[in-house]
Structure 1
């Protein structure tokens, strides 16, 4: 990843707020210029009065398509920024670990951090300590996900925040769970299947769950390899091109496979104004 992107992501996380699960109470700051830009597109009081279980706007009440998209993206953006900010910090520490490992200067505190981070990303540190193989696996898993990719997946999976799973379970990414009562039972669940759609206490937990799923699940190894190669090549991991490239590693996210990925890529291109305009992230 480019150094400028690390700085931008860290700054975005600071703007979004410092509380990991509390951004719903601490809304993101909006510049005066951005406020002026949106004067003609603001939601009426009646449009935002209806709230879902997580305090989200009633997206189904917003009839103007552009307003609905802007409201949906603005609702998810702070949480995405917080996740990427966390990952940037983890990545920096991980790269420091690799440098110390290469120089044979690993300390006990490094080992302790490696064990903690390995547990989070489900890559256990070997009994004999940090190894090249462990570092390689972790460097594949601990990295950012382009905001635009997360946003369009959220829009696709939650029908722009209007699905039953979004409004009743704070689940914006179609994430499953497998213990009875852990979530909502899909109305069209296939015979013999026992999964439920996971219920989250906040939109932030849903976003966190999505990030950890993509960064840990074996199904998305291809996405992580694409990202890793881009990182090695010094290519962007946050722009539209990166989002489209990484989406190719999501074939297993949906039973629709290639058609699903094509839909995501079309959405990324069609909504580019929401993340490539100069004021998109202010």
Structure 2
């Protein structure tokens, strides 16, 4: 075995051992809850708090972009730290036109808590799937990089994908939200949310969940499942909670 290949394998082993040391899944106290109602309440609150943190970060970037691009772009100081921040946001969200405020506003926006919680419940089996317990992967993200992934069980012959491993559940939720905000597959979600904003309507989880046709291979059945989870568990209350918190700031 040549030195280059040996070094590559050693690197993978090191990364794998480092990844295995991460805390996995929801807090252990969650898995000890026997009562279904209490278990759901814990899950909802836990995911809500992480979603809220990411949404607040997103809204900070959104307001920043509006403050920069709402005025005369000829007055932008290209040497200022604010311009550097704009470039980072543009790259992060894959915005084509640097100076198009509308392009940013379509992508740099929240994922409503009700929708995020419902998808987290469905995709992670209420926090009990192998993906979340072994990889902190809440939403079923794939990767083709074996150094940050684990082998899926029953992977099709010839397939090369892995299940993405995240350091924390927060990282998984952050990746999920960024994926929805910049991926062309979710353009319907981005556009619908923008249309609601233009009408002065706060984006809601139930309505936007019905744009997730491309998220799952089961098609329209997936939309029905999300709708049922949101309505049955009254998850729109978490949308209200989030918007009420914004109004009190």
TM-score higher than 0.5: yes
What does residue 37 of structure 2 align with? 66
Instruction: Give the superposition deviation at 1:124.
Output: 5.2
Matched, 1:106 2:106: no
What is the CA-CA distance between 1:232 and the residue it aligns to? 0.7
Preserved CA contact (<8 Å) 1:214 1:220: yes
User: What is the CA deviation profile of residues 216-265 of structure 1, one whole-angstrom value per residue up to 9, with x for unaligned ones?
Assistant: 1111011000000001111012xxxx111111221111101211111001
Report the CA distance between 1:278 and its aligned residue. Answer: 8.6
1:121 aligns with 2:83: no
Contact 1:176–1:196, Cα closer than 8 Å, also in 2: yes
Mapped partners of 1:54, 1:252: distance in 2: 26
- Compute the displacement of 1:58 (Å): 5.3
1:154 equivalent in structure 2: 120
User: Per-residue displacement from partner, 1:32-75 (whole Å, max 9, x unpaired)?
Assistant: xxxxxxxxxxxxxxxxxxxx625623544433211111111122
Matched, 1:88 2:59: yes
**SS of 2:28 mapped into structure 1:** coil
TM-score, normalization by structure 1: 0.71
TM-score between the two structures when normalised by the length of structure 2: 0.80
Which residue matches 2:150? 184
Deviation per CA, 1:136-177: give whole Å up to 9, x if none. 322111001111110110010000100011111111111111
Distance 1:258 1:93, change over 3 A: same
Q: How many residues align?
A: 220
Residue 131 in structure 1 maps to residue 90 in structure 2: no
What are structure 1's unaligned runs of at least 5 residues? Answer: 1-51
User: Structure 2 matches for 1:41-52, cutoff 5 A?
Assistant: none
Asked if the contact 2:206/2:236 (under 8 Å) is kept, the reply is no
- Structure 1 residue 116, shift from structure 2 partner: 1.4
Provide structure 2 residue ranges, at least 5 long, that are not aligned to the other structure: 1-22
Cα deviation for residue 97 of structure 1 reads: 2.0
Q: Higher helix share goes to which structure?
A: 2
CA distance 1:200–1:226, shift in 2 (3 Å): same
